[in-house]
């Protein structure tokens, strides 16, 4: 994998299913899975976008299929998985990362606005992970949900995302407990702010907002899609065979809190 510390072919012979993969972080992970040797199935709501996303992988000479399925629709997810299993074999890796976000105060959010994000992020993650169980290579499968710092820390104008991602964190741990005896590991990755993504275009739409965020991060920078892909690959290898139920922060230290020093009294 270009620019990676992980070995080419480390996922050879494996099949991965990635939900929410038409763009951004999840597409970056799907591409990295393929470069590491896995066959990859991708889903998102838009047939046009997901087929184009899959083509970015097949154009590099790797095996991939893209199918339209809304993660809010259990039957559609299950049908996409059935087709993926038929073409690519049982899944060794499942990554659930479909999400929606907009910045709005709770009083500027309708009940349907709140529900929409919870449905995509939390219910969608349940649907993807629950439906995948029958298609998993067991024991040995690695399931990964994509959460966010909002799942651990409250955030202004993000009540819907905070509630949904906190739910994903707990769901991840419960499934790790229930499915561990079958040799299925379930972990979450919590990305920090990642450059060149729709998430950050929505949360920090100006240069000034971006600089303000970076100044508060211990490592003083945004992360990259490759940073998240590396973590997802690691969690799916033998090196992680004793790791389950974790929320892995890949966030430059964002979770630690404000590292910008604004709370330090004058004179220090």
Q: Which residues of this protein are in contact with ligand NAP, per CB under 6 A? A: 20-26, 44-46, 49-50, 70-72, 97-100, 120, 124, 146, 148, 191, 193-194, 197-200
| Phi, psi of 207, deg, nearest 5 | -60, -40
What's the distance, CA 81 to chain centroid? 18
Query: Considering beta carbons, is residue 194 or 229 the nearer one to ligand NAP?
Result: 194
The answer to whether 56 contacts ligand HXC (rule: CB under 6 A) is: no
The answer to whether 112 contacts ligand HXC (rule: CB under 6 A) is: yes
| Phi, psi of 213, deg, nearest 5 | -65, -45
Closest CB 127 distance from ligand HXC, rounded Å: 15
157-181 exposure pattern, b = at least 16 Cβ within 10 A, e = fewer: ebbbbbbbbbbbbebbbebbeebee
Q: Which of 150, 172, 226, 244 binds ligand HXC (CB under 6 A)?
A: 150
Indicate the residue whose CB is closest to ligand HXC. 100
Closest CB 178 distance from ligand NAP, rounded Å: 23
The answer to whether 145 contacts ligand HXC (rule: CB under 6 A) is: no
Q: Which stretch binds ligand HXC (CB under 6 A): 1-9, 53-61, 99-107, 166-174?
A: 99-107
The answer to whether 161 contacts ligand HXC (rule: CB under 6 A) is: yes
| Phi, psi of 254, deg, nearest 5 | -55, -40
Distance CA 169, CA 122 (A): 9
Query: Considering beta carbons, is residue 193 or 252 the nearer one to ligand HXC?
Result: 193
**CB contact set of 152 (below 8 Å; sequence gap of 6+):** 166, 169, 190, 247, 255
Structure-block tokens of residue 111: 């009940």
Q: Which does 231 bind (CB under 5 to 8 A by kind): ligand HXC, ligand NAP, none?
A: none
Q: Which stretch binds ligand HXC (CB under 6 A): 107-115, 210-218, 223-231, 256-264?
A: 107-115
The answer to whether 125 contacts ligand HXC (rule: CB under 6 A) is: no
Backbone conformation region of residue 162, classed left if phi is above 0, alpha if psi is from -120 to 50, else beta: alpha
Q: Strand, helix or coil at 209?
A: helix
Rg (CA), the chain: 18
Measure the N-to-C terminal CA separation of the chain; round to a whole number of Å: 45
Q: Which does 26 bind (CB under 5 to 8 A by kind): ligand HXC, ligand NAP, none?
A: ligand NAP
Q: Which does 80 bind (CB under 5 to 8 A by kind): ligand HXC, ligand NAP, none?
A: none
- Residues in touch with ligand HXC (CB under 6 A): 99-102, 104, 108-110, 112-113, 116-117, 148, 150, 161, 193, 198-199, 202-203
């Amino acid at each position: 994998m270009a620019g990676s510390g992980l070995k080419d072919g480390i996922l050879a012979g494996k099949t991965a299913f990635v939900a929410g993969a038409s763009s951004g972080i999840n597409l970056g992970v799907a591409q990295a899975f393929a470069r590491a040797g896995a066959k990859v199935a991708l889903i998102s709501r838009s047939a046009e976008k997901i087929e184009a996303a899959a083509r970015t992988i097949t154009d590099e000479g790797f095996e991939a299929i893209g199918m339209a399925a809304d993660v809010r629709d259990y039957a559609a997810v299950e049908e996409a998985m059935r087709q993926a299993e038929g073409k690519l074999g049982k899944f060794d890796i499942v990554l659930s990362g479909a999400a929606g976000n907009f910045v709005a105060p709770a009083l500027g959010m309708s009940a349907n606005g709140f529900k929409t994000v919870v449905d995509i992020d939390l219910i969608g993650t349940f649907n993807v992970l629950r439906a995948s169980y029958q298609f998993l290579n067991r024991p040995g499968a690695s399931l990964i949900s994509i959460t966010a710092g909002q799942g651990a820390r409250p955030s202004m104008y993000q009540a819907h995302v905070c509630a949904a991602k906190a739910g994903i964190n707990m769901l991840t741990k419960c499934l790790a407990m229930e499915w561990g005896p079958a040799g299925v590991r379930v972990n979450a990755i919590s990305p920090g702010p990642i450059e060149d993504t729709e998430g950050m275009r929505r949360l920090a739409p100006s240069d000034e907002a971006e600089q303000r965020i970076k100044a508060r991060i211990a490592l003083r920078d945004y992360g990259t899609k490759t940073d998240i892909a590396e973590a997802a690959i690691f969690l799916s290898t033998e090196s992680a065979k004793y790791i389950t139920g974790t929320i892995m922060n890949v966030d430059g230290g964002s979770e630690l809190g404000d590292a910008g020093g604004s709370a330090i009294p004058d004179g220090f």
